[in-house]
Chains A and B, each alone.
Chain A
Amino acid sequence: MNRRQFLKSTGVSFVVSGIGAAPWISAHADAAPIKIGVLAPLTGVVAAGGREMVEGTQFYFDGIGNKVAGRNVELIIEDDASNPDTALQKARKLVEQSNVHFLMGNLLANTGLAVANYVKENGTPYFIPIIAADDLTQRGRINNVIRVAGYSASAFTHPLGDWALKQGYRRILTVSQDYSFGHEQCGGLVQVFTEGGGEIVQQFWHPLNTADFSPYLGQIANTKVDAVFVMENGADATRFLQQYANFGLKGQIPLISAMNTTDQSIIRTLGPECEGIVSAAHFAEGADNPTTQKFVADYLAKFNKIPSLFGFSMYSGAMWITLAIEKLGGNVEDREALLAAVRSTELIDSPLGKPVKLDPYGNPIYDVYVRKVLRRADGKFWNVPIETYPNVSQFWKYDPETYMKQPPYSRTFQGIKKS
């Protein structure tokens, strides 16, 4: 906090304006710290995830001694309160008052979109390991917004839809939170599933923070389906899984889900309700890859919990950016160079245990695990891969330009192929 007053009183306030700001190469660049603005929801509805985002970030930088390319790393953490207006305010504060070199973080898609709109104007690099809004790397992509170590919502449900067909499922219904993240995840699965001949019997959309799923569960119990696909995030996921089991549906109808629903942040506090649920993601904390296991063990030792998506993604994102900065020799002031470096850097030695590259649109290409929730020897639950789809892009097997011609997934457009 003293450093803020120091900056003000020395009159160093360079006005951040215009797109593609001219590189400001200071003679003291090597000594001055690299300032990273971290935005995360530390209060509000996704507070638990936000906390883990910060933990994951700090875990990485502490691990490398808080120094990159000879410069100290300074993390300035701001709470976005799970709310886009606050996210915008804090982004402004970080860029215009704290003069960070780049921003990273945010969890909820709407907070990410708000901040992206802001950085579009002033060119500050913005890295989003968690924000999954499809369009940020598709139709609405912005030059200085890159999804390092992140994913676009529909990227993992495309292969999951394929997997469902391979299991012989022909009739599915979906239950999802009614916002763009839910629409996109469902859309990905629905499009691939219907194109392969499957039928979507019904789609339930409910507002975020639905306390009571019984109305939907009642309907599900009365409908003949091969499986239920559920897309829930945060508290809704916990509640849905518990109520699904309480209403006796767990043993009766197989459940496949979005990765968020079976994320550690959810299943950590659950019991057998979550066992056996299948989801698809780039990360599975139960994968027997040695790098992954080492990361899980270290994280468990430090934080006394198995890492979730939030901790893992920020950790990997921080690693990715660090690799890029090292390539630049620490010159983060040159924004164009930084963005180019990040784009061309391959992520190696991350907890994924395999190298990851960005596609030309700023989104990583992953091997996707189809993973199942299983019980560990110590009684805890975690996700273990049962099948792998290699090199999955955000566009699945479609041609990018053709894919982007179809509208973004929404409540009204789910990519359903009428047979």
Chain B
Amino acid sequence: MRVGHQGAAASVVAPAPTRPIWTASIVVLLLAGLTILHLLLSNYQVGLATEILIFGALAMSIDVLAGFAGRTSLAHGAIFGVAAYVVIYAVTQLGITPVAAFLLGVVGATLVAALFSLVSVRASGVYFLLLTLALGMIVWGICLRWTDVTGGENGLRGTLRSGLLRDARVFYWVVLVSVALLSLAMWRFVRSPFGLTLRGICDSESRMHSLGYNVHFHLFIGFTLSGFFAGVAGGLYAFFNNFVSPSSVALLQSVQGLLMTIVGGVGTLFGSFIGSAAILTLQNVVSSYTERWQSVLGIVFIVIMIFAPEGLIGAARSFLTRVLGKHPRRR
């Protein structure tokens, strides 16, 4: 592997420095807006908003790895789905209480992430992408074929929410709070010394190695932790959907999650919610008019890769930089 190329080639776009005021204030504004709209929206739209939050959290977990450690993964959808499977299995087949099941789901996802991480710690760039793709497919194959446990094609279904949580609005608030806490945790993580080490590894593995850092160990922890975050999102998804099937762990899940990360902006963390909102609302609108959602999704991918690989936030930022004539920030 050529040394100099590692940083740039390792990720879709060189991760941008996070401007906390920028992204955080956008998110606060959106939250305020959402809170007001919330009272006017129908149950269906509240459900959609809940989904946006859950998938935004998934996209954010992908961003932790892609934007800061420079490893783009196509396995996070599978990790997310595993959590959902464990939760629903625990509740419907083992009779475990929802809260305990949720914790089990998160643990399960984290373990799977740790396993994946061990296998892929030495790969980077495109090979990392393909390896995580393969690992995700193995999980999908297991979910599809291990019918006794996973229900095979039919998946697992049940009624996970009881009492107050049955109301879509109450559930939305619960998810909002959970996702907010989760995002905060992710944010703190990437700004911690550990997170900074990951960024250093992204820039130049050999440099960090020569400085005495145990690169593989840091990558291992980073991947596992990002899997933990994805697992929390997956657990919430189980409660939202009351249903999980092999599609939940399929490649398309990881691909859509990655797209949300990219659309929002790799390395911006909170951009993931913008990406999630953009993709899910687009999907909703488009599928009312045509069956060609897949083509639209493909075109979005192509357009973003060519014109705005740094995502909507990145594109907005560079647009403003040009318009307002500010000096572009140096990496």
- Interface residue A274 (Cβ < 8 Å from any Cβ of B): no
Q: Is A172 an interface residue (CB 8 A)?
A: no
A27 to B131, CA, bound (A): 62
Main secondary structure of the interface of B (DSSP, over half): helix
Q: Which residue of A lies closest to B292 (CB)?
A: A43
B247 contacts chain A at the CB level, 8 A cutoff: yes
Contact B291 A114 (CB under 8 A): no
Closest A residue, CB atoms, query B157 = A117
Tell me whether B153 and A179 are in contact (CB under 8 A).
yes
Give the residues from 152 to 173 in chain B that come closer than 8 angstroms, CB to CB, to chain A.
Answer: 152-155, 157-159, 166-167
For residue A180, CB closer than 8 A to chain B, the reply is: yes
Stretch at the interface among B17-25, B27-35, B116-124, B238-246: B238-246
Contact A13 B294 (CB under 8 A): no
Inter-subunit contact A83/B42 (CB<8 Å): no
Verify A96–B42 contact, CB threshold 8 A: yes
Count B interface residues, CB 8 Å.
29
| Given A43-B291, A114-B157: A85 touches B152 (CB 8 Å cut-off) | no
Contact B153 A208 (CB under 8 A): yes
Indicate with 1 or 0, residue by residue over B223-257, a CB within 8 angstroms of chain A CB atoms. 00000000000000000011101011000000000
Q: Produce 1/0 per residue, A235-276, CB < 8 A to B.
A: 000000000000000000000000000000000000000000
Instruction: Check if B247 sits within 8 Å of A85, measured CB to CB.
Output: yes
| Distance in angstroms between the alpha carbons of A114 and B245 in the assembled complex | 9
- The answer to whether A64 has its CB under 8 Å from any CB of chain B is no
When the two chains form their complex, are residues A1 and B288 in contact, meaning their CB atoms are under 8 A apart? yes
* A179 to B243 alpha-carbon distance, docked (Å): 18
The one of A84, A96, A410 in contact with B245, judged by C-beta atoms closer than 8 angstroms, is A84
Q: Name A207's contact: one of B45, B144, B158, B167 (CB within 8 Å).
A: B144
Complex CA–CA separation, A79 to B241 (angstroms): 18
Name the distance in Å between A409's Cβ and chain B's nearest Cβ: 12
In the assembled complex, the Cα of A96 lies from the Cα of B154 at a distance in Å of 24
Expressed in whole angstroms, the minimum distance between the Cβ of B199 and any Cβ of chain A is 35
Cβ of B307 under 8 Å from chain A: no
Chain B residues closer than 8 Å to A92, beta-carbon distance: 44, 47
Q: Does A300 contact B (CB under 8 A)?
A: no
Chain A 388-419 interface 0/1 with B at a Cβ cutoff of 8 Å (1 = within): 00000000000000000000001100000000
**How far apart are A287's CB and chain B's nearest CB, in angstroms?**
32
Which residues of A, 108-141, contact B by the 8 Å Cβ criterion? 108-110, 113-114, 117-118, 120-121, 133
- Kindly provide the distance from the CB of B300 to the nearest chain A CB, expressed in whole angstroms: 17
Task: Produce 1/0 per residue, B273-288, CB < 8 A to A.
Answer: 0000000000010011
Please give, as numbers and ranges, the residues of chain B lying within 8 Å of A109 by CB-CB distance: 153-154
Please name the residue on chain A nearest to B283 by beta carbon.
Answer: A89
Chain A residues packing against B (C-beta within 8 Å): 1, 4, 8, 13, 15-17, 42-43, 78-79, 83-86, 88, 90, 92-93, 96-97, 108-110, 113-114, 117-118, 120-121, 133, 178-180, 207-208, 410-411
Known: A84-B247, A114-B243. 8 other contacts (CB 8 A): A1-B288, A8-B42, A17-B43, A85-B248, A97-B44, A110-B153, A110-B154, A179-B152
List, sorted by A's number, 13 A–B pairs whose CB atoms are closer than 8 Å. A15-B42, A78-B287, A84-B245, A90-B287, A92-B44, A96-B42, A96-B44, A97-B45, A110-B155, A114-B243, A117-B158, A121-B159, A180-B154
